[in-house]
Structure 1
Amino acid sequence: MSAVYTTLAIDIGGTNIRLGLLETDSLRPSYIKTFKINEFLGLAEVVELFLSSAPLHQIKQAAIDVATPVTQDTIKLTNHAWTFSIREIRARFGFERLKVINDFTAMALSIPLLDANELKQVGGGVADPDGAIALLGAGTGLGVSGLIRSAAGWYPLSGEGGHVTLGARNPRELAVFAAFWEKYGHMSAERLLSGTGLEEFYQVICRLDGKVPDSLQPADISARAIAKVCPACMETMNLFCEWFGIVAGNLTLSLGATGGVYIGGGIVPNLGDYFIHSSFRAAFETKGRFTGFMQKVPVYIIEADNPALRGAAASLNQRFDKIGISCTA
């Protein structure tokens, strides 16, 4: 009996690693497992465990998306201590081809593959089918990417827009941002719009108000904010949603993203109606003379399962040979 699965797709974030097997010519994994990266020494150990219990397979090619810039053979995650060599991973598992790309480049590549029922629109009008598309998402960090239309179809952008500088708009934000500036020497968007950022922002807000912060995870902070039982959590999440709108709006103007803005990551899709009814959209649209322009741009929350795995698999298409790094036998 011949192997059914010939392609392996891997999505490595700052907290979780997801692995999926695909049949030949398919872009949708049908066998998927998720692991916590903190429970493993490195990538090779996870791949070995996954393949040891996977259905019948003969992997010829693999694609990995990682939460870090992909510029050389040695890959080091931005928000975790893992490192690995692309060449060594390919040789160790005998893949004929191994491709590595940025995680939000993979997410961008998944957008044309999504069905309408995998998206939830948050305001705006109808997307321009030929307009540029913006993408951002908060998880362990803040990922940013986009798509532009070419003669051959959609083509993804690779960047690190999560590390753009934020500027305070009022005395309260100035006091909060100053605490980050004193500690890091830079106030980036990721310092607020991420899971680690939420924890630290909550703690800063508590200290500014002379209170001792509780030991809370991001999910605890959002849950308390939604339940309206913690003023510090409520302020943290309100600031998160508002600044998410500001950063998304800035990205929209920078790209001219009349094709819409897509939101992925692990935080916003899980906020549900809280995010939809937050100050996000108002902050997104408030751009002075371009407010009218912004009001027309649709925003979509990605509610699909494992879209980055689909995008990673799509990156194996020869059209995307110049994206990331490929290693062959």
Structure 2
Amino acid sequence: MSERHLLADVGGTNTRVGLADARGLLPDTVRIYENAGFDGLAPLLAAYLCETEPGPIDALCAGVAGPVRDGDAQLTNHDWFIAAADLAAATGAARVRLINDLQAQGYALDDVPPAARVPLFDDAPPPPDATRLVLGLGTGCNVAVVHQSGGRLFVPPAESGHSALPHMADAQASALIRHLAETHPHCPVEAALSGPGLMRIHRWLGGAALSSAQIVTAHEQRTDPRATQALTLFATILGAVAGNLCLHHLPMGGLYLIGGTARAIAPHLRDLGFAAPFTARGPYSAIMRDIPVTLIADDTIALAGCARHLRQTAHA
């Protein structure tokens, strides 16, 4: 009898839950829950199991939006502390794995269907088995570096969204970063490059209080010039940060953008000027132009990454 695995992609706002068997994620089992409706991940998963009645759970993997230490995790943009022991008690799973949510996205790259891969620029075909980089933009921001090793994927954890925003030659971007430092003293990348970050940029430019989705819509409908200015500034900083990260890791297999904010802004990145700060790297400009940039349009793919991680660690 095939094992039954429980999977969770835990963001700062929503949690996606699904089941997997030996073949991988079972798409029809995926459900989305608002975190605000639960006191923690354990009761949320218990509610899912009560609703779906899948039978015994053999293993559980959750990709969580925060650092994982000693098997437990604290979400960065929500007040949940997640203990592996609590998840085991709530679900009956004998094996519980917590990984960073971007690690889950990285482990999923080989399982992304072609229809969910949206090339954003006309780049050179990537070499086989090359390093890849996943950059997530949603409630927060983070990255995952994806390495191939002996037919398996190796995706180390990272918290790059809380590394500092770079020095910017663009005067307006530099002024924005100084402003963000007033409320975020360590000046993290995600203070600008996230859904809430886009809202901060728009307000700093004198815009009305709009959600990130409303800002993108206002830009598309040309109803708010400040929305276009905010997105242009966002794309400029994103190009600089993504370019720095790519120089750190040389992901010649591609840069992959994921997350709700990424899906909203990706169609506009070319026109907003992302490419110039991304590729302007002196003698390394030609290398940067050869890095494919792709949007992952499937917002449940991290669950497939959790399933792969469980398969890879089954005998660890």
Interval containing the TM-score (normalised by the shorter chain): over 0.9
What is the total number of aligned residue pairs between the two structures?
314
1:183 aligns with 2:177: no
Calculate percent identity across the aligned residue pairs: 28
| Structure 1 stretches of 4+ moved >3 Å | 27-30, 318-322
Give 3-state SS (helix, strand or coil) of 2:305's partner: helix
Q: Name 1:256's counterpart in structure 2.
A: 250
Output the amino acid matched with 2:45. V
How many angstroms apart in 1 are the aligned matches of 2:263 and 2:314? 28
* Whole-angstrom CA distance in 1 between matches of 2:302 and 2:137: 14
- Give 1:226's match in structure 2, choosing from 220, 224, 238: 220
Match of 1:204 in 2: 204
Cα displacement (A) at 1:231: 2.2
Alignment partners' CA distance in 1, 2:222 and 2:281: 30
Unpaired stretches in structure 2, ≥5 consecutive residues = none
The residue number in structure 2 matching 1:58 is: 56
Give 1:22 deviation, angstroms: 1.7
Q: CA RMSD in A?
A: 2.0
Change (3 A) 1:86 1:265: same
TM-score by length of 1: 0.89
Q: For residues 252 and 78 of structure 1, do their structure 2 counterparts lie closer, same or farther at Cα, with a shift above 3 Å needed?
A: same
Deviation at 1:219, TM superposition (A): 0.7
1:282 aligned to which of 276, 281, 299: 276
SS of 2:168's partner is coil
Shift of 1:92: 3.0
Which deviates the most, 281-290 or 128-137?
281-290
Aligned 8 A contact 2:138 2:195 in 1? yes
Query: What amino acid maps onto 1:216 in structure 2?
Result: L
Deviation at 1:73, TM superposition (A): 4.0
Larger CA deviation: 164-173 vs 45-54 = 164-173
**How far, CA to CA, are the matches of 1:151 and 1:47 in structure 2?**
34
Q: Quick one: which of 310, 313, 316 aligns to 1:316?
A: 310
**Aligned AA for 1:294?**
M
Q: Is the 8 A contact 2:173 2:237 kept in 1?
A: no
Encode CA deviations 1:177-236: one digit per residue, 9 max, x unaligned. 111112222222111110111111211221xxxxxx422111111111222222222111
With over 3 angstroms needed to count, the CA separation of the structure-2 counterparts of 1:280 and 1:174, relative to structure 1, is: closer
Contact 2:71 2:97 in 1 (8 A): no
Q: 2:32 maps to what in 1?
A: 34
Instruction: Give the distance between the partners of 1:321 and 1:66, measured in 2 at CA.
Output: 23
SS in structure 1 opposite 2:304?
Answer: helix
User: What TM-score do the two structures reach when normalised by structure 2?
Assistant: 0.93
1:108-166 superposed Cα distances (whole Å, 9 cap, x missing partner): 00001112222011221110112211110100000201111222433112111112222
* Partner AA of 2:144 in structure 1: S
Question: Helix, strand or coil for the counterpart of 1:317?
Answer: helix
Tell me which of 284, 296, 305 is aligned to 1:302: 296
1:110/1:307 contact within 8 Å kept = yes
> What residue in structure 2 maps to residue 48 of structure 1?
46
Alpha-carbon distance change, 176 to 128 in structure 1, aligned in 2, over 3 angstroms: same
Higher mean alpha-carbon deviation, 123-132 vs 25-34, is at 25-34
Instruction: Name the CA shift for 1:103/1:172 in 2 (closer, same or farther; >3 Å).
Output: same
Aligned residue in 2 for 1:90:
88
Contact between 1:107 and 1:307, CA under 8 Å: does it hold in 2?
yes
2:71 touches 2:98 (CA, 8 Å); kept in 1? no
Alpha-carbon spacing, 1:87–1:319, altered in 2? closer, same or farther (3 Å): closer
The reply on whether 1:216 has 2:216 as its aligned counterpart is no
Equivalent residue for 1:130? 129
Which secondary structure state, in structure 1, belongs to the residue aligned with residue 52 of structure 2?
Answer: coil
Distance in 2 (alpha carbons) for counterparts of 1:103 and 1:177: 26
C-alpha separation between the residues in 2 aligned to 1:5 and 1:229?
53
- Alpha-carbon separation, structure 2, partners of 1:227 and 1:273: 14
Determine the structure 2 residue equivalent to 1:71.
Answer: 69
